[in-house]
Chains A and B, each alone.
Chain A
Amino acid sequence: MATTTASITLSSSDLLTDNLSLSSTMNLYQHGTTATGLDECNYHRANIPTGTNFTLIQESAALNTSGANYVYIINKNTDVTDYVVVSIRSEVIGRLYAGDWMFIPYSDATTATAGVDDPSGDDSDIEIQAYTHECIVEYAMFHVGETLLTASDS
């Protein structure tokens, strides 16, 4: 069992009359457990060209057996006009401008008809499209397990 923590600090000294200082730390646990940590993860870096909506994180039947998965994405560009649109099931979540990050739970909760690019029959891919310029993104998923695909030449 692994111990993985995710912490956030939101702070501002001039947004409100008083200082804003909010911190929270969570442990990434498996579903149905009180203290068993997630023990698998992927950590990637990718260049996202403009003009196409890409699958960033492929759905996997194993991911929705519990729904305790977490995704982190950051746009590493530095030009403030560069952004990526992040979607799930074609539903736009929001835009990550240069330097922005997001951290969300990912339950991959739906089931649909399997397709050529969708072998598990689930459409809950996390998708990404870059605008203005190619964007470099880094992303990680902490999860309980992915369905491994049988090699086509096996």
Chain B
Amino acid sequence: MATTTATITLSSADMMDSALSISNTSTLTTAGTDTGLVETTGLARKKFANASEFILLDHGLAQGIAADVTADKSAKVYIKNMNDRGDGTKYVAVLINSIEIGRLYGGDWMFFPWSGGSNKDVDIDAYDATETTLEYCVFYE
């Protein structure tokens, strides 16, 4: 069993009258247990330069992690847009089953549980054809 932790810290000294400081650490475990996840894609890096929606994490495959990530199992996804922020207007939209979750601007990251399943690919749809680099990683059982 491996022990993998994910820690988040959200902080602001001036958004509100009092300082905001939220910090939590979770241990990545299999579904409904305290047994650590032991599989990962490792950190991957992808460059692209098109404005068409494409599949980053594919559930159309019958083998590999596509078969391992299902709703009753545990999987966590990390994605970061490695581009510079630029003028702040360019982003990549992240979608599941073509439903937009949100937009990662240059330098932004996200971390979320992934239920996977048929057609539940994680897709990317860039604002334009500017060359973009993503780094991503999946932890799963």
Chain A residues within 8 Å of B, Cβ to Cβ:
2-16, 20, 22, 24, 26-27, 29-34, 37-39, 41, 43, 67-72, 74, 80-81, 83, 85-86, 88-89, 91-97, 99-107, 109-110, 140
- The 14 sampled A-B contact pairs (Cβ below 8 Å) are A2-B12, A3-B12, A6-B8, A10-B137, A13-B3, A27-B107, A29-B105, A37-B15, A85-B115, A92-B96, A93-B96, A100-B26, A100-B113, A105-B104
Q: B50 contacts the other chain (Cβ, under 8 Å)?
A: no
Cβ 8 A contact of B108, one of A15, A89, A102, A105: A105
How close is A56's CB to chain B, nearest CB, in angstroms? Answer: 14
Chain A residues within 8 Å of B115, by CB:
85, 92-95
Nearest CB in chain A to that of B38: its residue: A15
Is the pair A22, B26 in contact by a Cβ cutoff of 8 Å?
Answer: no
Is the pair B85, A29 in contact by a Cβ cutoff of 8 Å?
Answer: yes
| Cα A37 to Cα B20 with chains together (Å) | 14
Report if A67-B38 is in contact (Cβ < 8 Å); known contacts: A4-B10, A10-B6, A92-B71: no
Tell me if A's interface is mostly helix, strand, loop or mixed. Answer: strand
Report if A101-B12 is in contact (Cβ < 8 Å); known contacts: A15-B38, A34-B85, A67-B103: no
Is the pair A22, B8 in contact by a Cβ cutoff of 8 Å?
Answer: no
- Among A16, A41, A43, A101, chain B packs the most CB atoms within 10 A around the CB of A101
| Cα A141 to Cα B27 with chains together (Å) | 23
Tell me if B's interface is mostly helix, strand, loop or mixed. Answer: strand
How close is A61's CB to chain B, nearest CB, in angstroms? Answer: 16
Is the pair A32, B94 in contact by a Cβ cutoff of 8 Å?
Answer: no
Chain A residues within 8 Å of B89, by CB:
31-32
Is the pair B26, A80 in contact by a Cβ cutoff of 8 Å?
Answer: no
Q: B7 contacts the other chain (Cβ, under 8 Å)?
A: yes
Chain A residues within 8 Å of B24, by CB:
74, 101
Is the pair A86, B113 in contact by a Cβ cutoff of 8 Å?
Answer: yes
Chain B residues within 8 Å of A14, by CB:
2-3
| Cα A41 to Cα B19 with chains together (Å) | 13
Nearest CB in chain B to that of A131: its residue: B32
Nearest CB in chain A to that of B87: its residue: A34
Is the pair A95, B8 in contact by a Cβ cutoff of 8 Å?
Answer: no
| Cα A22 to Cα B34 with chains together (Å) | 22
How close is A113's CB to chain B, nearest CB, in angstroms? Answer: 17
How close is A112's CB to chain B, nearest CB, in angstroms? Answer: 12
Residues of chain B in range 90-138 having any CB-CB distance to chain A below 8 Å:
91, 93-94, 96-97, 99-105, 107-115, 120, 137
Having A4-B12, A7-B10, one finds 17 other A-B pairs with CB under 8 Å, namely A4-B11, A4-B20, A8-B109, A9-B5, A26-B109, A34-B85, A67-B91, A68-B103, A72-B10, A88-B99, A92-B115, A94-B114, A99-B27, A103-B110, A105-B104, A105-B108, A107-B93
